């Protein structure tokens, strides 16, 4: 009897199942002080995770370290993004590879129109990806479609970047940038800070409109109320520079009731 | 005498040798004016840092380089293809090569009745008497040796006269090309802008240089803006990298009249733009705006003196500099408010962006106030690129060099947003982009 050679099935790796972001034992030092002390996190495409935690627990440090801000020194551990070493990339390269950080305090840039800024960023990313740049007319068409979807007035496009914007307008401008730049991974750093409930709802709607199976989001917040509107798949508590606890969305409500006292003790 | 008398000698000798051939020979008042001016120049000497007004700018090229006077051959030099900062928007265009008018390169346009533009040589040849009341009278020679030298040696330039109530429909473009000679030459161009009551004009000067050789452009402009008239006077200074560029502007502004001076500079090894404005009629108003971008070992000096002599006059000054390499900027802003000049409104800002830790700015505001009901303010800031803004832009995917470029534009924007006509604004954008791309390529002017 002859044996048929057995075919080996190639194992298919589905991109959507693979972790988009893997943070392993991350240690980050700012001004000589260790803020993150061995943090771990895995985030897949299509998922929205929330990072909650008391003030000073390292939430913004995590966001800045991911985006590559100077002065945030990674002393140990690593961050893999799509399987690549994120920490080796310049900030602009991280953005071009699909990482977006919505700033807690967006920066004002006088004399540069919002559209000019958006077009510069959009085309820089296209160029990095080997795609053709859009001219002024093509870009305006695209950006107008986004402002319409998000219910943002075109007036905001003509004004200089964030100059004279209210707190709510600044955050909406962050969401507009996210919509235009179309990232794979969006990190929202305390997007709710300084917003009243109406502005918060508008911003949350904008973020929800951008949820997709291809995109992952990391929502950093101190308060549970943002998570009433942007409902996460997982909630992590960052305390003392590490993830102290993880759970489902109900964890956020529990924290709202009990506060961070138990974690403050754990961190001490 | 605090000036340098040794550097004076070659010019005094040149004057003696050339005076018989200078334009307007035989016109007695002009001859007297020139003789008095060369004497004044000799008395004052070439300025040195021992003079308070020249504390930060030393005219070293005048100590080291022998500049000969321009001649016919220099004026006839091949100018190559000359750029235009106005293009089709220019109503009238005059081109000067090494200080002399080149009719073959100029494109005259139709000016309305009552408006006239011509070269100084032509104006002095046809009707010198018509200039007697203004030429050398608006400009004040006290403490002004380089203006005195210009007055003695003035060779050519433009004369724009706009009659009462006449408005020029399009801007006038004047191009000054230098640096075409093989050896260092000196040009003393003298311009005159005379706006009668209620008239309006926009003049755009473009100074540029061919090559890298040394030359000396010692220009002077006298301006009279009569009651309710409005002059917009733009200047683009893109001289060659070996140039010494001195420009003295003296303006007199009448009641309810406006003088708007703007200077954008990227050129010359050493430059000084010195503007003196006298607000002599109630309601007179002036704005002086400067933007400059320097690198390598360039030195750029902006010196302003605004004199409020009557009640209810105002002036706004904004000067912004971008300095890279070992470049050095100087801003001296003097505001004088005379006893009678009540309700003066004066505002002065000088901001500098240092792109290198070897660059330097010296900013010196001076307020001299003799009236008691005035509003005068001044402020100076010096800073580097804002790291937070830089990171914000980079976090959006904008590469570092482009992000720095955007922030430089952001810094200069305030000085540029009122620049009209549109083609000039676009030309300046291109010059800024070219300057920035040189920075990105690490090119230096040294």
**Residues B26-83: pLDDT tens digits?**
999 999 999 999 999 999 999 999 999 999 999 999 999 999 999 889 999 999 889 9
By C-alpha distance, the chain B residue nearest A95 is B397
Contacts B403 to A, Cβ<8 Å: 92
- The class level of CATH for A19-267 reads alpha beta
Sheet containing strand A216-221, strands side by side: A99-102, A185-189, A216-221, A48-52, A234-239, A242-247
B204 domain-assigned? yes
Contacts B389 to A, Cβ<8 Å: 107-109
B57 domain-assigned? no
Question: Could you tell me how many residues make up chain A?
Answer: 268
User: Are residues A112 and B406, on separate chains, in Cβ contact within 8 Å?
Assistant: yes
Q: How far is A125 from chain B (nearest CA, A)?
A: 6
Is the predicted ipTM greater than 0.85, yes or no?
yes
Domain count, chain B: 1
User: Are residues B406 and A107, on separate chains, in Cβ contact within 8 Å?
Assistant: no
B368 domain-assigned? yes
In this predicted model, what pLDDT tens digit does every residue of B287-341 receive, in sequence order? Answer: 999 999 999 999 999 999 999 999 999 999 999 999 999 999 999 999 999 999 9
**Interface residue ranges in chain A relative to chain B, Cβ cutoff 8 Å:** 67-70, 90-92, 94-96, 101, 103, 106-112, 116-117, 120-122, 124-125, 128, 160, 177, 181
Query: How far is it, in rounded angstroms, from Cα A183 to Cα A217?
Result: 10
Q: How far is B296 from chain A (nearest CA, A)?
A: 27
Strand ranges (E), B196-284: 200-209, 214-225, 230-238, 242-253, 258-265, 270-279
CA distances from B29 to A159, B26, B33, B54, B136 (A): 57, 9, 6, 31, 10
Of the candidates B387, B393, B410, the beta carbon closest to that of A110 is on: B410
Of the candidates A108, A111, A125, the beta carbon closest to that of B397 is on: A125
Res A181: pLDDT: 97
Res A2: pLDDT: 47
User: Are residues B389 and A90, on separate chains, in Cβ contact within 8 Å?
Assistant: no
Query: How far is it, in rounded angstroms, from Cα B267 to Cα B237?
Result: 6
**Mean pLDDT calculated for residue range B264-269:** 98
Between these two residues, B239 and B2, which has the higher pLDDT value? B239
Res B439: pLDDT: 72
By C-alpha distance, the chain B residue nearest A183 is B396
Q: How far is A120 from chain B (nearest CA, A)?
A: 7
Contacts B353 to A, Cβ<8 Å: none
By C-alpha distance, the chain A residue nearest B394 is A92
- pLDDT value at B285 more than 60: yes
Number of H helices, E strands in chain B: 9, 21
Res A15: pLDDT: 45
Contacts A106 to B, Cβ<8 Å: 392
B4 domain-assigned? no
Res A14: pLDDT: 44
Res B406: pLDDT: 96
* Mean pLDDT for chain B overall: 95
B101 domain-assigned? yes
Of the candidates A107, A110, A122, the beta carbon closest to that of B392 is on: A107
Q: Which residue numbers in chain A have pLDDT < 70? A: 1-17, 265-268
Contacts A91 to B, Cβ<8 Å: 391, 394-395
For residue B146, the surrounding DSSP H or E stretch is: helix B145-153
User: Are residues A111 and B417, on separate chains, in Cβ contact within 8 Å?
Assistant: yes
- pLDDT value at B154 more than 80: yes
Query: How far is it, in rounded angstroms, from Cα B389 to Cα B386?
Result: 5
Which ranges constitute the DSSP H helices of A83-196?
91-96, 114-128, 136-150, 155-158, 167-181
Res B420: pLDDT: 87
Confidence of residue B142 (pLDDT cuts 50, 70, 90): confident
Res B302: pLDDT: 98
Between these two residues, B164 and B211, which has the higher pLDDT value? B164
Q: Which residues pair with B397 in a beta bridge?
A: none
Q: Which domain holds residue B370?
A: 63-77+87-384
CA distances from B320 to A244, B140, B272, B291, B379 (A): 52, 27, 15, 5, 12
Q: Which of A48, A41, A44 is nearest to A20 (CA)?
A: A44
* Lowest-confidence segment of B179-193, B357-371, B432-446 by average pLDDT: B432-446
Res B445: pLDDT: 43
Q: How far is A128 from chain B (nearest CA, A)?
A: 9
Of the candidates B395, B409, B413, the beta carbon closest to that of A91 is on: B395
Q: Which residues pair with A229 in a beta bridge?
A: none
Q: Which residues pair with A24 in a beta bridge?
A: A78
Contacts B407 to A, Cβ<8 Å: 109
Res A55: pLDDT: 85
Q: Which residue in this structure is represented by tokens 């800031």?
A: B381
- pLDDT value at B240 more than 80: yes
Of the candidates B396, B410, B411, the beta carbon closest to that of A177 is on: B396
Res A16: pLDDT: 44
Query: How far is it, in rounded angstroms, from Cα A74 to Cα A34?
Result: 9
Return the percentage of chain B with pLDDT > 90, whole number: 90
User: Are residues B413 and A111, on separate chains, in Cβ contact within 8 Å?
Assistant: yes
Of the candidates B402, B409, B411, the beta carbon closest to that of A124 is on: B402
Q: How far is B234 from chain A (nearest CA, A)?
A: 21
Of the candidates B386, B392, B398, the beta carbon closest to that of A124 is on: B398
Res B351: pLDDT: 98
User: Are residues B397 and A96, on separate chains, in Cβ contact within 8 Å?
Assistant: yes
CA distances from B314 to A128, B311, B332 (A): 51, 9, 19
User: Are residues B411 and A106, on separate chains, in Cβ contact within 8 Å?
Assistant: no
What is the 8-class DSSP label of residue A230?
S
B21 domain-assigned? no
């Amino acid at each position: 009897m002859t044996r048929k050679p057995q075919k080996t099935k190639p194992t298919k790796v589905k991109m959507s199942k693979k972790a988009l972001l893997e943070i392993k034992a991350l240690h980050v030092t700012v001004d000589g002080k260790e803020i993150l002390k061995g943090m771990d996190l895995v985030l897949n495409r299509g998922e929205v995770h929330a990072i909650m935690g008391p003030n000073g627990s390292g939430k913004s440090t995590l966001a800045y370290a991911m985006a590559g801000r100077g002065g945030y020194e990674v002393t140990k551990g690593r961050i893999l993004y799509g399987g690549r070493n994120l920490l080796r990339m310049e900030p602009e390269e991280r953005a071009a590879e699909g990482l977006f950080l919505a700033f807690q305090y967006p920066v004002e840039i006088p004399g540069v129109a919002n559209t000019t800024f958006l077009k510069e960023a959009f085309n820089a990313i296209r160029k990095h990806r080997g795609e053709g740049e859009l001219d002024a007319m093509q870009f305006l068409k695209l950006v107008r479609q986004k402002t319409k979807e998000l219910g943002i007035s075109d007036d905001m496009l003509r004004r200089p970047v964030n100059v004279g914007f209210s707190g709510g307008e600044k955050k909406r401008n962050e969401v507009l940038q996210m919509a235009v730049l179309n990232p794979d991974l969006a990190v929202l750093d305390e997007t709710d800070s300084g917003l009243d409930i109406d502005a918060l709802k508008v911003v949350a709607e904008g973020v929800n409109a951008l949820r997709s199976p291809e995109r992952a989001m990391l929502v950093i917040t101190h308060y549970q109320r943002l998570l009433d509107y942007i409902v996460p798949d997982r909630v992590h508590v960052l305390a003392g520079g590490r993830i102290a606890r993880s759970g489902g969305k109900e964890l956020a409500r529990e924290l709202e009731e009990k506060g961070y006292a138990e974690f403050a003790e754990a961190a001490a | 005498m605090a000036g340098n008398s040794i550097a004076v000698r070659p010019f005094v000798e040149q004057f003696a040798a050339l005076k018989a051939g200078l334009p307007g020979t035989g016109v007695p008042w002009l001859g007297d004016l020139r003789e008095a001016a060369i004497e004044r120049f000799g008395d004052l000497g070439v300025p040195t840092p021992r003079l308070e007004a020249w504390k930060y700018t030393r005219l070293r090229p005048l100590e080291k380089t022998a500049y000969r006077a321009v001649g016919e051959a220099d004026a006839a030099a091949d100018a190559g293809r000359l750029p235009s900062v106005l293009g089709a928007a220019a109503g009238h265009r005059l081109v000067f090569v090494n200080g002399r008018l080149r009719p073959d390169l100029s494109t005259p346009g139709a000016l309305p009745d009552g408006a006239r533009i011509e070269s100084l040589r032509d104006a002095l040849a046809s009707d010198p008497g018509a200039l007697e009341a203004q030429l050398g009278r608006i400009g004040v020679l006290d403490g002004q040796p380089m203006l005195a030298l210009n007055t003695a040696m003035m060779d050519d330039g433009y004369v724009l006269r706009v009659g009462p109530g006449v408005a020029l429909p399009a801007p006038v473009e004047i191009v000054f090309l230098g640096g075409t000679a093989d050896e260092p030459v000196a040009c003393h161009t003298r311009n005159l802008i005379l706006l009668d009551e209620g008239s309006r004009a926009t003049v755009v000067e473009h100074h540029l240089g061919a090559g890298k050789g040394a030359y000396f452009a010692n220009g002077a402009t006298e301006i009279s803006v009569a009651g309710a008239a409005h002059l917009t006077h733009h200047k683009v200074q893109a001289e060659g990298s070996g140039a010494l560029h001195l420009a003295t502007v003296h303006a007199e502004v009448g009641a309810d009249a406006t003088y708007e001076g703007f200077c954008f500079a990227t050129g010359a090894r050493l430059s000084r733009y010195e503007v003196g404005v006298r607000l002599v009629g109630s309601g007179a108003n002036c704005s002086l705006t400067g933007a400059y971008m320097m690198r390598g070992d360039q030195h750029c000096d902006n010196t302003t003196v605004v004199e409020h002599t009557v009640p209810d006059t105002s002036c706004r000054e904004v000067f912004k500099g971008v300095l890279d390499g070992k470049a050095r900027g100087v801003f001296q802003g003097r505001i004088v408010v005379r006893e009678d000049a009540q309700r003066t409104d004066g505002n002065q800002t000088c901001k500098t962006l240092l792109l290198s830790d070897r660059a330097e700015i010296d900013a010196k505001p001076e307020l001299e106030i003799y009236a008691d009901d005035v509003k005068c303010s001044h402020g100076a800031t010096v800073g580097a690129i804002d790291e937070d803004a830089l990171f914000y832009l980079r976090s959006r995917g904008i590469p570092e060099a482009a992000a720095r470029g955007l922030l430089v534009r952001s810094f200069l924007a305030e000085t540029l947003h009122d620049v009209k006509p549109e083609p000039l604004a676009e030309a300046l954008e291109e010059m800024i982009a070219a300057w920035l791309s040189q920075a990105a390529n690490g090119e230096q002017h040294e």
